[in-house]
């Protein structure tokens, strides 16, 4: 392991030196690539240097255990009791950091939430999920941009699409795709019976133009007037946009903006990300025979999590984790869930010898 980290440190030093070269500084694209690579390996290098410093201090104190002065031996022993756990923590962190990062992890996220089975309750639950992810993004200092919104008359959401822009957003949220199930007593339920409803979440890495090329001849563009809850017109101009990608059959509708141009641009963002994800899913299927123990497929038809209100409980079915803090999770406290899923994924990759 440490041989590999030493190579990464050498690469880091080489990149740092390159920042002083005129040919790099004068080329914005090259400078950007160098900066991105530095950022990607910085934590690994810093953790390795911390481990090496601690290992050196441990070796030094272990030598003092043979000193003739009892007081020095006692001080050295106390130092070792403090240094050894810190060194082991650094080594464990290094092991995690050496698991190959998936190329998409650093991308922004386009996520879509749709009400599933359960009528009005499903729409209200879709709204709860959107609020949960919005709070999570806010806590991380990420920017959330609405792309499309379709509300119900009762305060719920039929569907919503938004983009979360921030470093590592996709890496944090990629395990959220799938069917989310809620169990609770609706406000309109006089007998106190628990109802079950669902909502689907799709988390897509934002695709840039370089990732997906969309030909104009493959697009059908329809424009019409926007409508709000209940079908009432909310715009007097044909600003809503429906894009149909003819080869794949994918359809994206955006009507949140009053500008047709803005709606078209947002619809293209969603379409490009969906096409990118379709291609990634195709590649994943091709590699599926070589992989084991994945944390779910990310398929929207897969039930991944249950939110039980009477017991204040959330259960992630993929890793068998149950937490009794539903109230905090719905406020965006997803860290424990996400870290458990990421840890299971790392363990799976390490087992495969990745």
pLDDT averaged per 10 residues, the chain (length 354): 84 93 91 88 92 95 92 94 94 81 81 91 94 96 90 87 90 92 85 90 80 83 69 58 88 79 84 83 58 43 88 96 97 94 80 57
Q: Which residues pair with residue 332 across a beta bridge?
A: none
Task: Among 97, 131, 158, give the residue marking a domain's end.
Answer: 97
Task: Among 52, 74, 97, give the residue marking a domain's end.
Answer: 97
Does this model's pTM top 0.95? no
First to last CA, the chain: 13
Report the candidate in 283, 244, 272 with the shortest Cα–Cα distance to residue 161: 272
Distance CA 235, CA 240 (A): 9
> In the numeric block, which tokens belong to residue 258?
């009053």
Would you state the pLDDT for residue 298?
Answer: 42
Number of domains in the chain: 2
Do 141 and 86 lie in a common domain?
Answer: no
> In the numeric block, which tokens belong to residue 38?
């530095």
CATH number at residue 115: 3.30.70.1660
Residue 147 in contact with residue 257, Cβ under 8 Å? no
Do 144 and 18 lie in a common domain?
Answer: no
Do 33 and 140 lie in a common domain?
Answer: no
Domain span at residue 269 reads 109-351
Do 164 and 211 lie in a common domain?
Answer: yes
Would you state the pLDDT for residue 191?
Answer: 78
Asked if residue 121 is part of any domain, the answer here is yes
Pairing state between β 313-316 and 321-323: antiparallel
Do 138 and 12 lie in a common domain?
Answer: no
Do 82 and 114 lie in a common domain?
Answer: no
Neighbours of 55 (CB within 10 A): 16
Report the candidate in 262, 220, 216 with the shortest Cα–Cα distance to residue 239: 262
Task: Among 64, 97, 130, give the residue marking a domain's end.
Answer: 97
Do 139 and 81 lie in a common domain?
Answer: no
Do 307 and 241 lie in a common domain?
Answer: yes
Asked if residue 136 is part of any domain, the answer here is yes
Distance CA 342, CA 173 (A): 10
With vertex at residue 46, the alpha carbon angle to CA 21 and CA 57, rounded to the nearest 5 degrees, is 125
Asked if residue 103 is part of any domain, the answer here is no
Would you state the pLDDT for residue 240?
Answer: 84
Asked if residue 114 is part of any domain, the answer here is yes
Do 288 and 157 lie in a common domain?
Answer: yes
Q: Which residues contact 349 (CB under 8 A, 6 or more apart)?
A: 99, 100
Asked if residue 154 is part of any domain, the answer here is yes
Asked if residue 91 is part of any domain, the answer here is yes
Report the candidate in 125, 259, 245, 242 with the shortest Cα–Cα distance to residue 195: 125
E strands of the chain, at which residues? 109-115, 143-151, 157-165, 178-184, 195-205, 219-224, 240-245, 250-254, 303-308, 313-316, 321-323
Do 58 and 182 lie in a common domain?
Answer: no
Residue 41 in contact with residue 12, Cβ under 8 Å? yes
Do 50 and 173 lie in a common domain?
Answer: no
Do 129 and 40 lie in a common domain?
Answer: no
Residue 131 in contact with residue 160, Cβ under 8 Å? no
Asked if residue 102 is part of any domain, the answer here is no
């Amino acid at each position: 392991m440490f041989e590999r980290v030493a190579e990464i440190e050498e690469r880091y030093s080489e990149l740092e030196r390159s920042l002083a070269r005129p040919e790099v500084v004068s080329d914005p694209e090259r400078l950007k690539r160098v900066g991105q690579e530095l950022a990607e390996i910085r934590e690994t290098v810093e953790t390795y240097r911390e481990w090496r410093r601690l290992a050196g201090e441990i070796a030094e104190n272990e030598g003092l255990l043979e000193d003739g002065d009892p007081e020095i031996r006692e001080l050295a022993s106390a130092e070792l009791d403090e240094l050894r756990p810190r060194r082991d923590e650094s080594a464990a962190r290094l092991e995690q950091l050496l698991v190959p990062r998936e190329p998409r992890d650093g991308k922004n996220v386009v996520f879509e939430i749709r009400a599933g089975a359960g009528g009005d309750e499903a729409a209200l639950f879709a709204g709860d999920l959107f609020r949960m992810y919005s709070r999570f993004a806010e806590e991380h200092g990420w920017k959330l941009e609405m792309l499309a919104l379709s509300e119900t008359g009762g305060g719920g959401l039929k569907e919503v699409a938004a983009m979360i822009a921030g470093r590592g957003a996709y890496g944090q949220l990629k395990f959220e795709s799938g069917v989310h199930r809620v169990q609770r007593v609706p406000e309109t339920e006089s007998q106190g019976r628990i109802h079950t409803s669902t909502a689907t979440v799709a988390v897509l890495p934002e695709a840039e133009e370089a990732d997906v090329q969309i030909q104009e001849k493959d697009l059908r563009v329809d424009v019409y007037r926007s409508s709000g809850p209940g079908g009432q017109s909310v715009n007097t101009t044909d600003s809503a946009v429906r894009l149909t990608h003819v080869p794949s059959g994918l359809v994206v509708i955006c009507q949140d903006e009053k500008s047709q141009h803005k709606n078209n641009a947002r619809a293209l963002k969603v379409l490009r990300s969906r096409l990118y994800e379709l291609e990634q899913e195709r590649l994943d299927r091709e590699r599926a025979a070589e992989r084991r123990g994945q944390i779910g497929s990310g398929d929207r038809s897969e039930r991944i999590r249950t939110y039980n209100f009477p017991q204040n409980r959330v259960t992630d079915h993929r890793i068998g984790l149950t937490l009794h803090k539903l109230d905090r999770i719905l406020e965006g406290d997803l860290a424990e869930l996400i870290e458990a899923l990421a840890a299971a994924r790392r363990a799976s990759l390490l087992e495969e010898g990745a």
